[in-house]
């Protein structure tokens, strides 16, 4: 396929700095993308020239997990842009069965992070009576808040240390924001919800944010660890036992969740805004990576136009 747009993922910024054990040079990165296929795909009812996004998760297709629709558990799982050449190029090879027609190239590059957010929401088991805290106002955190809102959460709280990113919260269904740079997240949440929140999604993945997630929970609540910044974290084990907290991970997505993300984007549920989405030509790619490497950019998402 010929690439049109590619989103820059935070995990790729760490690789750009040489700090990512999974992404090692020489490697073409890029797993959030859209483009035009150059061959017909009859079994997908796609024709050459159609605009598509691609599920970048490549698996064996024959194990019990794959056959049950839970390909994210496949022991042979690989990822385009990590294990195979990615989309920061004019062309790339993709599995025909994983192409999905999209209506807009920029929205097509947002399908993959939305699928991650849908997975996190499903792992959280959000119900309409829940108060939900999302930690991290990057694009996956904002989309996770949007998923909670669309699932009917009673209250959606967003916490981050970057005030410029928090201002985007209302566009994603956020009811209340917490400035984590100037307040204790757990304490601020308990002022809003004295029992604590029902669900927390940590879209950052530092030891501090994982502990903040647990501190914000009510007894019997559920925390979803989605972010991957730090491998090791010291958590309050006795408190987890006594308050019966549930802690679950969330990684990638099932085929159904990716398809749901495609349908949400094609249905026009999310309106791109220049306030939170920065679309640049590929020639500015190095500058975009350097900006994000220097610290959280005011734009939660940067998408490069490859053609």
Q: What is the pLDDT of residues 15-70, one digit of tens each?
A: 999 888 889 899 999 999 999 999 999 999 999 999 999 999 999 999 999 999 99
Over residues 254-261, the mean pLDDT reads 97
Given this model, what pLDDT does residue 210 score?
99
CATH superfamily of 120-249: NAD(P)-binding Rossmann-like Domain (3.40.50.720)
Over residues 183-204, the mean pLDDT reads 98
pLDDT band at 119 (very low <50, low <70, confident <90, very high): very high
Map tokens 């601020």 to a residue: 188
d(CA 56, CA 223): 26
User: CA angle, corner 61, sides to 34 and 39, nearest 5?
Assistant: 40
Task: Return the closest-CA partner of residue 105 out of 6, 243, 197.
Answer: 6
Over residues 283-300, the mean pLDDT reads 88
Over residues 211-231, the mean pLDDT reads 97
d(CA 170, CA 176): 8
- The token pair at 273 is 């805004």
State in Å, rounded, how far the first CA of the chain is from the last one. 12
pLDDT band at 173 (very low <50, low <70, confident <90, very high): very high
CATH superfamily of 2-110+272-305: Medium-chain alcohol dehydrogenases, catalytic domain (3.90.180.10)
Given this model, what pLDDT does residue 105 score?
97
Q: What is the pLDDT of residues 103-112, one digit of tens each?
A: 999 999 999 9
Burial letters for 36-64: b for 16+ Cβ neighbours within 10 Å, e otherwise? ebeeebeebebeeebbbbbbbbbbeeebe
Domain boundaries, the chain: 2-110+272-305, 120-249
Given this model, what pLDDT does residue 143 score?
98
- 2-110+272-305 and 120-249: same fold? no
């Amino acid at each position: 396929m010929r690439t049109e747009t590619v989103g820059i993922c935070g995990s790729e910024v760490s690789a750009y700095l040489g700090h990512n054990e999974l992404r090692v040079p020489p490697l073409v990165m890029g797993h959030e993308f859209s483009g035009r296929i150059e061959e017909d795909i009859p079994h997908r009812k796609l024709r050459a020239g159609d605009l598509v996004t691609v599920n970048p998760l490549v698996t064996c297709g024959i194990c019990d997990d794959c056959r049950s629709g839970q390909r994210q558990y496949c022991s042979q799982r690989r990822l385009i842009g990590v294990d195979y050449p990615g989309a920061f190029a004019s062309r790339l090879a993709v599995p025909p069965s994983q192409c999905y027609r999209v209506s807009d190239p920029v929205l097509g590059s947002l399908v993959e992070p939305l699928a991650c957010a849908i997975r996190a929401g499903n792992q959280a088991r959000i119900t309409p009576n829940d108060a939900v805290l999302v930690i991290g106002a990057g694009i996956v955190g904002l989309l996770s808040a949007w998923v909670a809102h669309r699932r009917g959460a009673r209250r959606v709280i967003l916490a981050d240390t970057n005030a410029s990113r928090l201002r985007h919260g209302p566009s994603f269904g956020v009811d209340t924001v917490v400035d984590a740079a100037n307040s204790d997240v757990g304490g601020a949440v308990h002022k809003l919800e004295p029992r604590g929140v029902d669900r927390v999604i940590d879209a950052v993945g530092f030891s501090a944010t994982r502990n903040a997630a647990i501190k914000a929970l009510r007894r019997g609540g559920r925390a979803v660890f989605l972010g991957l910044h730090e491998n090791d974290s010291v958590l309050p084990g006795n408190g987890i036992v006594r308050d019966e907290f549930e802690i679950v991970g969330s990684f990638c997505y099932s085929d159904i969740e990716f398809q749901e993300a495609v349908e949400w984007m094609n249905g026009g549920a999310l309106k791109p805004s220049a306030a939170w989405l920065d679309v640049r030509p590929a020639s500015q790619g190095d500058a975009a990576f350097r900006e994000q490497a220097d610290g959280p950019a005011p734009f939660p998402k940067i998408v490069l136009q490859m053609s």
